[in-house]
Chains A and B, each alone.
Chain A
């Protein structure tokens, strides 16, 4: 039995060695015969000029869709708004979000109550959603031009109505009117542009938010760079 196993191991090693040597010979042959670019001899040049304007568009949903009602039987809320940017500028673009005034973003329309802007463990650093003994409002984002290292990524904002359910998204709060980058690129977009999905979340944990209607006005800004 031992002899059979030993012979099998020997044969396998021999087989792999031969195959590897032959593969390397093939790789060397590929290296030697790879197509070389050939310059045209004495080209005759014809100059054609064309101008492309530097332009940019922004199309955001004017109001976030979805959004659960909070109360005694529900403590969490998620909603979303999509922003599409198209630009022809060779430098690309930046897309930012900001609250429209210096107060916390989600304010009651009928009283002085408000949801605190989401408080992350490290100020300004998005993290997995977690609210304790407060009612807070925050956001995340995902898209082809959104840094996954900063915001994580997902395919939707729903989380079954709970931002903590979006386990792969990282959330943060607004900081007054300071612009916060959610997407950027260093080249023109394609003709249909690039979508960035903004995911909003809110939660009351351990405390009850006062009843009433609340609203937030978020300013999305796109500029070329």
Chain B
């Protein structure tokens, strides 16, 4: 090629390589968003539930919004999680350890490090692929995004690094065991003979005895002693990991007047087939503060009645 044409060609190739190729290779995008600085960063979605056949693959997006008000560098990592042995704590991240339902070889975030200026949002892919030979069942892990403290901050005596995780619950399709049992349905807090009107917490314990996660959901309906429905509170869909007991709590508030015996009925779809678990509990509501005030009022009225009655009797005599 003549030298005169060679140099422009080299320059053109360089420019294409610098600006064109990265756009062709990477799918992540960074855009400006209109957010109020809050000193934090937002991650979404909080969790993703995926079902894939062996040999299949898919991509899910995760996004981060920088609301710190300053430029921040972030690292991306993946960790397995398992069910915590304390039902109220739900999950336990495993750090570098692999779990029996490891996700480490199945998901790969597109990037492992990025920088965001204030009010910027990044959307990046998390690639999920299941080998042909994968056993059916669940795989559980989290994509964790952490901020790197500045050099000045890392000189402090105690530095705190923030991490937020997007949970991934993957189901490898195929024959699996799905089973669960409702182990408890009760009022939250210590046992009481009666409750004050207003706010009532109901606790649900579901034991997943199968080999794959379940997504139960349902409703708690409250009726009074005459059988009339007072209200209901939904049990929003949540996940229960295999070989674990999942705790959930729902709160029902009622502003109106309440007194007497009430019944709460739980209808919980277990998350597989048409399996439904039902449970019932009864609780008494006594507005004791109101009744105490009435009692004291009657005492005062009786005392006053007696006082004036005796005064008039004495006068008559």
B294 surroundings in chain A (CB, below 8 A)? 23, 26
Q: Nearest Cβ in chain A — how far from B201, in angstroms?
A: 10
Interface size class of B (residues with CB under 8 A): 35 or more
Q: Which of A20, A53, A56 contacts B164 (CB 8 A)?
A: A56
The answer to whether B154 and A217 touch across the interface, beta carbons within 8 angstroms, is yes
A86 surroundings in chain B (CB, below 8 A)? 40
B224 surroundings in chain A (CB, below 8 A)? 34, 36
Within A151-188, the residues touching B (CB, 8 Å) are 177-179, 181, 184, 186-187
Interfacial residues, chain B to chain A (CB-CB below 8 A): 38-47, 67, 81, 84, 86, 88-93, 95-96, 142, 144, 146, 149-150, 153-167, 224, 226, 228-231, 236-239, 247-249, 251, 256-260, 286-287, 291, 294-295, 298-299, 302-303, 306
B42 surroundings in chain A (CB, below 8 A)? 55-57
The answer to whether B90 and A63 touch across the interface, beta carbons within 8 angstroms, is no
Given contacts A15-B303, A222-B165, A223-B91, contact A216 B38 (CB under 8 A): no
A204 adjacent to chain B (CB < 8 Å): no
The answer to whether A56 and B231 touch across the interface, beta carbons within 8 angstroms, is no
A221 adjacent to chain B (CB < 8 Å): yes
B142 surroundings in chain A (CB, below 8 A)? 223
B47 surroundings in chain A (CB, below 8 A)? 54, 89, 91, 224
Q: Which of B81, B156, B260 contacts A63 (CB 8 A)?
A: B156
The answer to whether A216 and B157 touch across the interface, beta carbons within 8 angstroms, is yes
The answer to whether B91 and A225 touch across the interface, beta carbons within 8 angstroms, is yes
Q: Which of B44, B89, B162, B259 contacts A55 (CB 8 A)?
A: B44
B81 surroundings in chain A (CB, below 8 A)? 223
B162 surroundings in chain A (CB, below 8 A)? 58-60, 83, 220-222
Given contacts A37-B230, A54-B47, contact A15 B164 (CB under 8 A): no
| 18 intermolecular pairs with C-beta atoms under 8 Å apart | A22-B298, A23-B291, A30-B257, A37-B228, A54-B47, A57-B67, A60-B162, A81-B158, A88-B46, A90-B238, A96-B93, A181-B86, A184-B88, A215-B154, A216-B157, A221-B162, A223-B166, A225-B167
A113 adjacent to chain B (CB < 8 Å): no
The answer to whether B256 and A35 touch across the interface, beta carbons within 8 angstroms, is yes
The answer to whether B46 and A89 touch across the interface, beta carbons within 8 angstroms, is yes
The answer to whether B238 and A91 touch across the interface, beta carbons within 8 angstroms, is yes
Q: Nearest Cβ in chain B — how far from A74, in angstroms?
A: 14
User: Which residue of chain B lies nearest to A178 when distances are taken between CB atoms in the complex?
Assistant: B95
Q: Nearest Cβ in chain B — how far from A157, in angstroms?
A: 12
The answer to whether B90 and A55 touch across the interface, beta carbons within 8 angstroms, is no
